[in-house]
């Protein structure tokens, strides 16, 4: 197995060649978006490209196959996973990239694993892959909101991430879909860690607080 990212990427792309053409085109668009963001945020393009090509490696597999593979990979399944096996394609891909393609970069594996639901604490590469997956060209043509989130990602990745989570929440409420617990926990963490104070009234300076208290 190759130890270089270039060699690993070549193997992953060769594996993707056997996937449906529509999925391959989607991955190409995600990779283009992710590399554009990588240049903007000074990320290693090789690592970003590897994560982009690996993120949907098992997206096209049938739900029953995804459940089977998840068990074979030793993933701990929750009732929410059983009800919606599609969310497992990222964790499955991360496990396979490590075992079969010798990918050991933890940030790359996190990006592949968490690109569907997100996680409270994510490395920058993971945020880039998640967002690129959501607003690649075909998706933003379908939903104009993704154009605005894409524009925002050039200024503030965390704000773009939360805007996507808000959009997702509205979609779920509108269509009567359930929110996966992992995603809801991630969204709660994003609000707490990055945006809680932004929604509060202006903070009192420490010296003013001390004066008022005395």
**Mean pLDDT rounded to a whole number for the chain:** 91
Crossing angle of helices 45-54 and 5-16, in 10° steps, is 30
d(CA 120, CA 189): 5
Q: What are phi and psi of 109, to 5 degrees?
A: -65, -40
Architecture in CATH of 5-200: Orthogonal Bundle (1.10)
Does the pLDDT of residue 204 top 60, yes or no? no
d(CA 12, CA 159): 31
Name the pLDDT band for 207 (thresholds 50, 70, 90): low
Residue-level pLDDT at 214: 46
pTM reported for the whole predicted model? 0.89
Name the pLDDT band for 205 (thresholds 50, 70, 90): low
The pLDDT of 9-34, averaged and rounded, is: 97
Does the pLDDT of residue 209 top 60, yes or no? no
Contacts of 140 (CB under 8 A, 6+ apart): 146, 147, 150
d(CA 27, CA 143): 18
Conformation bin of residue 42: beta by default, left when phi > 0, alpha when psi is -120 to 50: left
Residue-level pLDDT at 50: 98
Residue-level pLDDT at 153: 96
Spatial contact of 195 and 158, defined as CB atoms under 8 Å apart: yes
Q: What is the pLDDT of residues 33-73, one digit of tens each?
A: 999 999 999 999 999 999 999 999 999 999 999 999 999 99
Residue-level pLDDT at 196: 63
The pLDDT of 154-162, averaged and rounded, is: 94
Does the pLDDT of residue 201 top 70, yes or no? no
Name the pLDDT band for 1 (thresholds 50, 70, 90): low
d(CA 177, CA 14): 36
Q: Where are the domains of the chain?
A: 5-200
Residue with tokens 């990979």: 73
Structure tokens at 212: 């008022």
Does the pLDDT of residue 202 top 70, yes or no? no
Does the pLDDT of residue 178 top 90, yes or no? no
């Amino acid at each position: 197995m190759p130890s270089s990212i270039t060699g690993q990427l070549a193997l992953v792309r060769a594996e993707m060649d056997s996937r449906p053409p529509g999925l391959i085109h989607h991955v190409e668009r995600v990779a283009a978006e992710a590399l554009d963001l990588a240049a903007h945020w000074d990320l290693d393009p090789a690592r970003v490209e590897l994560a982009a090509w690996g993120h949907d490696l098992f997206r096209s597999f049938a739900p029953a196959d995804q459940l089977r593979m998840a068990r074979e990979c030793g993933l701990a399944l929750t009732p929410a996973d059983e009800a919606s096996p599609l969310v497992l394609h990222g964790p499955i891909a991360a496990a396979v990239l490590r075992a079969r393609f010798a990918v050991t970069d933890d940030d790359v594996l996190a990006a592949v694993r968490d690109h569907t639901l997100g996680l409270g604490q994510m490395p920058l590469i993971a945020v880039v892959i998640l967002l690129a997956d959501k607003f690649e060209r075909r998706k933003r043509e379908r939903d104009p909101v993704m154009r605005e989130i894409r524009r925002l990602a050039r200024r503030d990745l965390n704000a773009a991430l939360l805007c996507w989570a808000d959009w997702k929440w509205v979609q779920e409420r509108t269509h009567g879909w359930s929110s996966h617990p992992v995603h809801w926990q991630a969204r709660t963490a994003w609000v707490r860690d990055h945006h809680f104070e932004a929604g509060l009234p202006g903070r009192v300076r420490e010296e003013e607080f001390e004066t008022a208290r005395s």
